[in-house]
A and B are shown apart, each in its own frame.
Chain A
Amino acid sequence: MEFINSHILSITTFVPLLTAIAVLLSPALSIARWVSMGGSIVAFLASLHIWFYFDAQTAGLQFTEMHEWIPSFGIRYIMGVDGLNLLLIMLTTFLTPLILLSVWHLDDKKQKAFLSLFMTLECGMLGSLVAFDLVFFYVFWEAMLIPMYFIIGLWGGKNRIYATTKFIIYTFVGSLLMLAAMIVLYVLHFQQTGVYTTNLLDLYGTSAEYSTQMWLFAAFALAFAIKVPMFPFHTWLPDAHTEAPTSGSVILAGVLLKLGTYGLVRFAIPLFPQATATFAPVMVALGVIGIIYGALTAWMQKDAKKMVAYSSVSHLGFVVIGSVAVISGGAALSAEALTGAVYQQINHGISTGALFFLVGCIYDRRHTRMLADFGGIAKVMPWFAVMLIVATLSSVGLPGTGGFVGEFLILLGTFLSSPLAGATAALGVLLGAVYMLTLCRKILFGPLENEENKTLEDLTPREFAYLTPLAILAVVMGVFPNLFLDKVRPSIENLANNFRNYKIVAEAPLESNQLLGADHKEMGH
């Protein structure tokens, strides 16, 4: 137990990686499926352990692990959980088994590789969520790209090479700028303290000159903005989503994009508070533009998946403005908005994940995603209709679904910060309903005219198995948000109120056992 408690994060993160290897080694696809499912469930159970043993009373870092990694550069293996990443970890481990279930029926030759890549991806995502060392984080951050690159590039649609290359290059540009900024920060910290370290907890205290901060913030924010993606950097997203297989889209929308907003909250804002205050209006403006813009473009789409993809641009605009809503003249962040932003990340993962799954369901049956090919599906697929409507409602933020809680808190906080921005962003609520209901109407309602649609089969038990948890969660998150918010409250309030002088402490003392720097001489004796 002691061991599990002190290594739970490593277990959660690396069980998927081990699973990936095991999947590759398994002799048959049928075994590989069970192995991957088993691995993902173990990861989920491990994250549940984190969830239940998480101390909701403190803003500190919990379940911390620290080992020397590259001592000569001050690079460490640091992991930890606080309120800002707890929910995202849960989301990741929760979505993965569902996605594996959704690809259960696929049996092409490369499927084993797919499962393996997918588990690697999970490891990458979890790693970048729990890493508290810049270099450690960066390794995972980049490692995540590789499986995604292959998932889109090998299992994608017609135009997949273009899409995946665009995805990689876009993301990479941002990452490189971030890397440069990380190095600058590293050097700055050395100049101030004389210690070489990439430990985020130490770097929070680094104070840079205002002008330097601006550049650093810009570099970090750009990297994350591309990942989110924010308005002018979003064009990789629709392509990637349209070309990616359903499972890829789900994980992309469900978790990958959140890493952008998570990075913003974890790195960009607390590291460069002054720059945050200065840039906040710009970020808010871009976020609001993104909300409206994404909604309007989504409305025009003829391809269901592209529509959902653009809706992500719109929804994540909310998360961005929620993250940077400064109040009291830049002295603090709005705790309401920040809570909403953290919460909305999860909601978006659930609702958009479900939407992508659903689009995948009909794509599996009809091999088309064009809205014009559908209509009246509700008659032949009533349960599908139920699920789609639930997902839609969660997506448009109807009260009683998780989407509402998130959007409401974000809008409230933004409104407190800037009434104009809040009011404009509120238009997104209307426009969101416009395109989502259009989607629903064109697929579900209207006369059932197309002959091919008349024989469609309703959801299979397997599809139920992965859609139902999402639907239930969407409602539970709307009705009992405190179940989740209670866990994250201290962390969020700490960041919101003290972001000018942010500090988190590790609850358990970081143990500095030299796992990898062990003295070789003593081996074998």
Chain B
Amino acid sequence: MTQELVFLAFASLIAICSMMVILSRNAVVSAIFLVGDLFCLAGLYASMEAHFVAAIQVLVYAGAIVVLFMFVIMLLNLGPDQRKHLEVSAPEIGVLGLTIVGFLVIGGLLLLGQPTGVTGPLTAEAIDNAGGNTYTVGMVLFTKYLWPFELASMLILLAIIAAIVIAKKEHIKDGDKRRLAHG
């Protein structure tokens, strides 16, 4: 009962936030909704006994990534999108329709299928007995997934370097701006 309530609350919040993320014209507002989205997701994770992932979700996603977005939005100081209505061409409407229909079909198929179980052997007690969620995830992470873990750390390093290199100020050529004006 509690779980349903929790799920319903979070799920509806998530759905609303997700829609607002893509619908709001102001990027800052989008970002705020994204934070809400992520926070609610963390709540869902926590309700599934995935405390570690939940904490990481908030810590990294909400606490770092979206802040970064916010920063860039402020840095670029973009106003709200100018056009009130999206200019959508015919083929784009087709794609839009196709996409929505496709997802509806998938969702429908999922709903039609038999509900397959709720929770496996990974109950709260089982996890506690195994040493807690963090410990168990850590064990998997540092044994079975050691290589991917190392790779991921390399990836981060690369990303740091790449980000610095890319964002570093360079001399802006006039030609590019002119080209933009014509293009």
Residues of A participating in the B interface, judged by any CB pair closer than 8 Å: 70-72, 520-521
- Contact code string B122-150 (vs A, CB < 8 Å = 1, else 0): 00000000010001001100011011000
A520 touches B144 (CB 8 A): no
Residues of B participating in the A interface, judged by any CB pair closer than 8 Å: 131, 135, 138-139, 143-144, 146-147
Q: How far apart sit A521 and B130, CA to CA, in the bound complex (Å)? A: 10
B143 touches A72 (CB 8 A): yes
Closest A residue to B134 by beta carbon equals A520
Q: How far apart sit A449 and B131, CA to CA, in the bound complex (Å)? A: 82
Closest A residue to B138 by beta carbon equals A520
A70 touches B146 (CB 8 A): yes
Residues of chain B lying within 8 A (CB to CB) of residue A520:
135, 138-139
Give chain A's interface secondary structure class: helix
Residues of chain A lying within 8 A (CB to CB) of residue B131:
521
B144 touches A72 (CB 8 A): yes
Closest B residue to A71 by beta carbon equals B143
A468 to chain B, nearest CB (A): 42
Task: Add 9 more A-B contacts to A71-B143, A520-B138 (CB < 8 A).
Answer: A70-B146, A70-B147, A72-B143, A72-B144, A72-B146, A520-B135, A520-B139, A521-B131, A521-B135
Q: How far apart sit A520 and B131, CA to CA, in the bound complex (Å)? A: 10
Q: Can you give 10 contacting A-B residue pairs, CB < 8 Å?
A: A70-B147, A71-B143, A72-B143, A72-B144, A72-B146, A520-B135, A520-B138, A520-B139, A521-B131, A521-B135
Q: How far apart sit A71 and B139, CA to CA, in the bound complex (Å)? A: 13
Q: How far apart sit A520 and B132, CA to CA, in the bound complex (Å)? A: 12
Closest A residue to B135 by beta carbon equals A520
Closest A residue to B131 by beta carbon equals A521
B158 to chain A, nearest CB (A): 13
Q: How far apart sit A72 and B141, CA to CA, in the bound complex (Å)? A: 13
Residues of chain B lying within 8 A (CB to CB) of residue A521:
131, 135
Residues of chain B lying within 8 A (CB to CB) of residue A71:
143
B164 to chain A, nearest CB (A): 15
Residues of chain A lying within 8 A (CB to CB) of residue B138:
520
Q: How far apart sit A517 and B144, CA to CA, in the bound complex (Å)? A: 12
Q: How far apart sit A83 and B143, CA to CA, in the bound complex (Å)? A: 36
Residues of chain A lying within 8 A (CB to CB) of residue B146:
70, 72
Residues of chain B lying within 8 A (CB to CB) of residue A70:
146-147
Residues of chain B lying within 8 A (CB to CB) of residue A72:
143-144, 146
Residues of chain A lying within 8 A (CB to CB) of residue B147:
70
A280 to chain B, nearest CB (A): 38
Q: How far apart sit A71 and B143, CA to CA, in the bound complex (Å)? A: 8
Q: How far apart sit A72 and B146, CA to CA, in the bound complex (Å)? A: 10
Q: How far apart sit A520 and B139, CA to CA, in the bound complex (Å)? A: 9
Q: How far apart sit A70 and B143, CA to CA, in the bound complex (Å)? A: 8
A127 to chain B, nearest CB (A): 17
B111 to chain A, nearest CB (A): 40
Q: How far apart sit A520 and B143, CA to CA, in the bound complex (Å)? A: 12
B52 to chain A, nearest CB (A): 14
Q: How far apart sit A71 and B131, CA to CA, in the bound complex (Å)? A: 22
A254 to chain B, nearest CB (A): 30
Residues of chain A lying within 8 A (CB to CB) of residue B139:
520
B43 to chain A, nearest CB (A): 28
A113 to chain B, nearest CB (A): 15
Q: How far apart sit A70 and B146, CA to CA, in the bound complex (Å)? A: 8
A23 to chain B, nearest CB (A): 20
Q: How far apart sit A479 and B163, CA to CA, in the bound complex (Å)? A: 57
Q: How far apart sit A25 and B138, CA to CA, in the bound complex (Å)? A: 31
B166 to chain A, nearest CB (A): 20
B148 to chain A, nearest CB (A): 12
Q: How far apart sit A262 and B138, CA to CA, in the bound complex (Å)? A: 39
Closest B residue to A517 by beta carbon equals B143
A434 to chain B, nearest CB (A): 48
A197 to chain B, nearest CB (A): 17
Residues of chain A lying within 8 A (CB to CB) of residue B144:
72
A140 to chain B, nearest CB (A): 15
B144 to chain A, nearest CB (A): 7
Q: How far apart sit A521 and B129, CA to CA, in the bound complex (Å)? A: 12
Q: How far apart sit A234 and B35, CA to CA, in the bound complex (Å)? A: 57
Residues of chain A lying within 8 A (CB to CB) of residue B143:
71-72
Q: How far apart sit A169 and B138, CA to CA, in the bound complex (Å)? A: 37
Q: How far apart sit A353 and B111, CA to CA, in the bound complex (Å)? A: 75
By Cβ-Cβ distance, the 5 closest A-B pairs, closest first, are A70-B146, A521-B131, A72-B143, A520-B135, A520-B138
Q: How far apart sit A521 and B138, CA to CA, in the bound complex (Å)? A: 11
A182 to chain B, nearest CB (A): 15
B90 to chain A, nearest CB (A): 49
Q: How far apart sit A520 and B147, CA to CA, in the bound complex (Å)? A: 19
Q: How far apart sit A72 and B147, CA to CA, in the bound complex (Å)? A: 11
B27 to chain A, nearest CB (A): 38
A135 to chain B, nearest CB (A): 11
A5 to chain B, nearest CB (A): 30
Closest B residue to A69 by beta carbon equals B146
A186 to chain B, nearest CB (A): 15
Q: How far apart sit A70 and B138, CA to CA, in the bound complex (Å)? A: 15
Q: How far apart sit A72 and B142, CA to CA, in the bound complex (Å)? A: 11
A490 to chain B, nearest CB (A): 38
Q: How far apart sit A71 and B147, CA to CA, in the bound complex (Å)? A: 12
B56 to chain A, nearest CB (A): 18
